[in-house]
Amino acid sequence: MALFDLPLAELLTYCPERVEPDDFDAFWRATLSDAARHELKPEFTPYDALLPGVRVQDARFSGYEGQRVAAWFLAPADVAGPLPCVVQFIGYGGGRGRPHEWLLWPAAGYAVLVVDSRGQGDGDTPDLPGGDTPQHSGLLTRGVLDPEQYYYRRLFTDAVRAVDAAAAHPDVDRTRIVVAGASQGGGIAQAVAGLHRHVRAALIDLPFLTHFRRATEITDSHPYQELADFCATNRDRIEQVFRTLGYFDGVNFAARATAPALYSVALMDDVCPPSTVLAAYNHYAGPKELQVWPYNGHEGGATFQPPIQLRWLRDLLG
C-alpha cells in the first residue's frame, strides 16, 4: 500500500470538528454507574503456565451488567510489589490468548493484566446480551442502530472495570496503571483514557474505532468495511448508524483524556488510516507524543515499537 491519505504535514495539523451527541457524557456516566452497582469481585487464581520466572494468575472480574470477564495477570516472579501495571487490550477478533504470549511486560519489571474481548477470538468471555437490531457480519455493527445495545458499550465498560480490577490486585501500584493496545486494543485504550480518571498513562498504537465516518469514506479494508456494507444495505439508516457511533468515537474520548499518551501511526495503514489516528491525536487533551512509521501498514512499528514504549514509560513512571 503506497501513501494514500493526507501528506504528513497536513496530518500533523488535521483536527476536524468533533461530532458527538449532546448527551455523550450523561450516556457514559449512566453506563458506568450501572456497571458500578455490580460488585467487582476480582479473583486471581494461580495458573501453572510452565514459566518459572513469571507469576501467572487466571483473573476474573465483573464487567458490563456484572458479567464475568476473563483476563491473565502476569508479574515477574522475583520482583516485590507494588508494581506498575499495564492493562493490555486486544486487537479485533482476538482474545486473551495464552500467558506465554504476554511476557514483554513482566520481563521489563511490570505487571500486566491482559483483558479478554468479549465474544472474540481465543478467549473465555462470551458476549451474553442479545439485542434486536440487524447487523452485518462481524462485531462492528452488532447493535449499531441503538447506542444502548451497541457491542462496544459492553466492551468499553468491561475495559473500564479492568482498570479497577488491576488496581485491586495486592501487587499493583494503583497510582501507576497504564492502558495499552494496538488497533482495536488501541481504540479501547484511548476510550478508557477518556473515561477513567485514574489511568496514569496510555500507549495507543494505530487506534481503530476512531473518526468512523472518514474511515468508511477513505478505506475499503476491513473491519471498517463492515460499516460501509451495513450502510449500503440499510440506505435509510445511515444517519442513525453514525449517531450511535458518535457515543463510541475515539476522537470524542481523546478530547476528554488527560493522562500522558504515546501514540503511533503508520502512514501506509489502510486498516486504520492515518488521518483517523491523527484526528484523535490532535484532539487529545493530555500531554502526548507521536511515533510515525512512514513506510508501514497496519503492522506499524511491530518489534521496533516496544523499546520506544519501554523508554517512554521509564522516563514517565520511574
Q: Which three cell numbers stand for residue 72?
A: 491473565
Is the pLDDT at 274 greater than 80? The verdict is: yes
In angstroms, rounded to a whole number, what is the distance separating the alpha carbons of residues 46 and 52? Answer: 12
Is the pLDDT at 182 greater than 60? The verdict is: yes
Residue 39: pLDDT band (50, 70, 90) is very high
- pLDDT score, position 169: 98
- For the annotated catalytic residues, the residue numbers are 183, 269, 298
Q: Which three cell numbers stand for residue 18?
A: 468533533
Residue 131: pLDDT band (50, 70, 90) is low
Cα distances (Å, whole numbers) of residue 217 to 77, 199, 294 = 48, 33, 22
Give the up-direction half-sphere exposure of residue 215: CA atoms within 13 A in the CB hemisphere: 32
> Each residue of 210-227: b (16+ CB within 10 Å) or e?
bbbbbbbebbebbbbbbb
Q: Are 88 and 103 in contact (CB under 8 A)?
A: no
Q: pTM score, two decimals?
A: 0.97
- pLDDT score, position 149: 96
- Whole-number percent of the chain with pLDDT over 70: 97
What are the DSSP E strand ranges found in the chain? 43-46, 54-62, 68-76, 83-88, 111-115, 172-182, 201-205, 261-266, 288-293
